[in-house]
Structure 1
């Protein structure tokens, strides 16, 4: 099967980037896994501008992208809509108007990609205004497409950029578009919003990232408590720190708390560490390569995930791979999909005290490492790729025309997504 993946972002193997996300890493893994099972995979990412680059990346083809190619293949009708969005969407911030206008102009380029590659199916990664041109181009070219959601954020963070899940996506699902979710909780939340669980709303669990050799760093602390993820409000490392500070002193003395990820909080978490007098017990590694992350996780006593809203929880199953147990709140979307009494302790209350108690219990429990490793074996690239391939094989064009979708976009953008469906 020939698959064209259109995505806002990706982290390809072998191409250095200063900032990665779980989403960008997982899109790359999906592309690699599909290619490994024998599919012919092409990828274009809005975030990557590389005019001369058309490269084989672990079996898939990363397509070149440049400002010149975007302009060369743009259409006058899309320019008109882009100007209209930029000038008349007064309820949106200037930056939001600029972004939607930029995305709209790229529709013709995506049509060019689809007509050049002639895929059997287009895989649209995520649902936000950035992917509207992917969907519109697929409809104009009459090529089936499927949408893959890696999380649902609009319920907790109801800002303009992601509430397309409650508007545009609902209309597409009702008209037959195949949609995949990385957890049953994510699917169920949208099903509740839509009033019905449609047959084309399917769960495809993430897989463990490919294993690679871990460097043996001298500065890695054995038996540490690890939190993996870019430091931000959403990942909620501030509560992980608060819970750590509530652990009994004898427990804290035996364990170091390690935060791995890019700092998106302008040093606020480090200031909180200073204020709590925990400077000697907390480590900030900054951005690490995946092998370096694995080196820390392999030596950890515990992986903690305290996200306010989490579609899957990849860092937890990364810990399972090395026989390391995890602690998380039991209301994350994927809890039922990844939970096991042999590997994960769920915390029911979202308080600092409850999280601290969960961490203390997990650190004092005699975990069976082999049982954790057996649980980790559930999350493989082969299973993930097979599930995606089956969804793509059955994908059909929804019962909506390009003009109808354009009208939906107009309503969404011009009314700042505040319309009923």
Structure 2
């Protein structure tokens, strides 16, 4: 069985999709299957390091990227299919070629955000992108998604014309050495801060976290800090970083809330290893990788009761009602005061993290690849 894996999108992928693509690529090589021959369209590390379009900010730069992406999907990738003659083509970035292909397709659609949250996207871009998604759903296609919640959401918006399977992904393997000086450089003490890592997309609800943290400080007089690491949202419509910055100034939290921006893997490890707890207030997720990363580092997690996060946490996290500031504040206070609860959450999280691994990730793909399309 010959499988062609499309890795073109790694040249712009960030956060969750980048992790998905990189971890799957690593697992392919670490856990080979005797009946499957894998062909990569690109070398993963090299493609991820390509910065040609990562700094595309002007309209012309963005247009050039979209033209390059369209040319890849609709011309270059079909040519590679003709060249390598795979039995299966796997596209990990929502979109498969619109052209007819002589092979089976597995298309990974990570979530249903484009349909669920239209206000977060440019109208023309959303219409164009969802059109590309639908045009690529043809012939022998199976959709892969990240959680049962995402599967249910996709069935609602795409229907059941094509089978949809759930594959749980593996969290990022942080092999880089810990930056031993990062905490001290940022005036952070061990177990002296709550943590969130990710972009400032509106659906992440980070303004809610800042407000709840301000209330937490008022109720407890705690000396703990809040670290929100990550870059701005992917577009003006989606970006909540300015709102967060304004709230930090409004509440006088400049010394309490750290916004370090994008950080390297060694710095991420330092933050996970030193945090008191991880907080994930998102209103919509397809999966929730940071929960598993936090569990793996032995951190207790507070997360919204959004269905995908509840599914991934598997009862190992402390939930609050999505969007409810008072409830989130209450859970921050509870975690701060109840040492026994914190230790219990840590142990439950460690157990849950074992359910997600690179080997299980790739074995789920092996099973789908080697099973006939229903």
The interval holding the TM-score normalised by the smaller chain is 0.7 to 0.9
1:192: which partner in 2?
A: 156
Could you tell me how far 1:163 is from its partner in structure 2? 6.2
User: Any residues of structure 2 matched to 1:17-416 within 5 Å, and which?
Assistant: 20-38=14-32, 40-44=37-41, 55=43, 57=45, 102-106=68-72, 107-127=74-94, 131=95, 134-137=96-99, 139-140=100-101, 142-158=102-118, 159=123, 161-162=125-126, 177-194=141-158, 196=160, 200-212=163-175, 213-217=177-181, 218-219=183-184, 220-223=188-191, 224-249=193-218, 251=220, 253-264=222-233, 265=239, 267-340=242-315, 343-365=316-338, 366=341, 367-368=343-344, 369-394=346-371, 396=373
Whether contact under 8 Å (2:10, 2:44) holds in the other structure is no
Q: TM-score, normalised by structure 1?
A: 0.71
Distance 1:30 1:163, change over 3 A: farther
1:81: which partner in 2?
A: none
Instruction: Please state whether the residue corresponding to 2:115 is helix, strand or coil.
Output: coil
Distance 1:221 1:41, change over 3 A: farther
In 2, the alpha carbon distance for the partners of 1:63 and 1:318 equals 21
Whether contact under 8 Å (1:327, 1:358) holds in the other structure is yes
In 2, the alpha carbon distance for the partners of 1:63 and 1:97 equals 20
Instruction: Please state whether the residue corresponding to 1:247 is helix, strand or coil.
Output: helix
**Deviations, residues 180-224 of structure 1 (Å, cap 9, x unaligned):** 11111010112234555x782111112122242322224243221
Distance 1:97 1:292, change over 3 A: closer
Moved more, 160-169 or 251-260: 160-169
Distance 1:165 1:363, change over 3 A: farther
Moved more, 157-166 or 274-283: 157-166
Whether contact under 8 Å (2:195, 2:275) holds in the other structure is yes
In 1, the alpha carbon distance for the partners of 2:331 and 2:63 equals 44
Instruction: Please state whether the residue corresponding to 2:143 is helix, strand or coil.
Output: strand
Higher helix share: 2
Whether contact under 8 Å (1:297, 1:324) holds in the other structure is yes
Whether contact under 8 Å (2:105, 2:140) holds in the other structure is no
Distance 1:63 1:214, change over 3 A: closer
2:3: which partner in 1?
A: 3
Could you tell me how far 1:317 is from its partner in structure 2? 0.9
Whether contact under 8 Å (1:182, 1:334) holds in the other structure is no
Whether contact under 8 Å (2:22, 2:44) holds in the other structure is no
Aligned CA-pair RMSD: 3.5
In 1, the alpha carbon distance for the partners of 2:246 and 2:27 equals 41
1:84: which partner in 2?
A: none
Q: Tell me the number of residue pairs that the alignment of Structure 1 and Structure 2 aligns.
A: 344
Could you tell me how far 1:278 is from its partner in structure 2? 0.9
In 2, the alpha carbon distance for the partners of 1:41 and 1:251 equals 55
Could you tell me how far 1:346 is from its partner in structure 2? 1.5
In 2, the alpha carbon distance for the partners of 1:384 and 1:157 equals 28
In 1, the alpha carbon distance for the partners of 2:214 and 2:243 equals 16
Could you tell me how far 1:364 is from its partner in structure 2? 3.0
- Gaps (5+ residues) in structure 2? 53-58, 234-238
Whether contact under 8 Å (1:235, 1:307) holds in the other structure is yes
Distance 1:178 1:381, change over 3 A: same
Q: TM-score, normalised by structure 2?
A: 0.79
Distance 1:163 1:33, change over 3 A: farther
1:74: which partner in 2?
A: none
**Deviations, residues 20-52 of structure 1 (Å, cap 9, x unaligned):** 3221122111111122111544444xxxxxxxx
In 2, the alpha carbon distance for the partners of 1:94 and 1:262 equals 22
Instruction: Please state whether the residue corresponding to 2:180 is helix, strand or coil.
Output: coil
Whether contact under 8 Å (1:42, 1:63) holds in the other structure is no
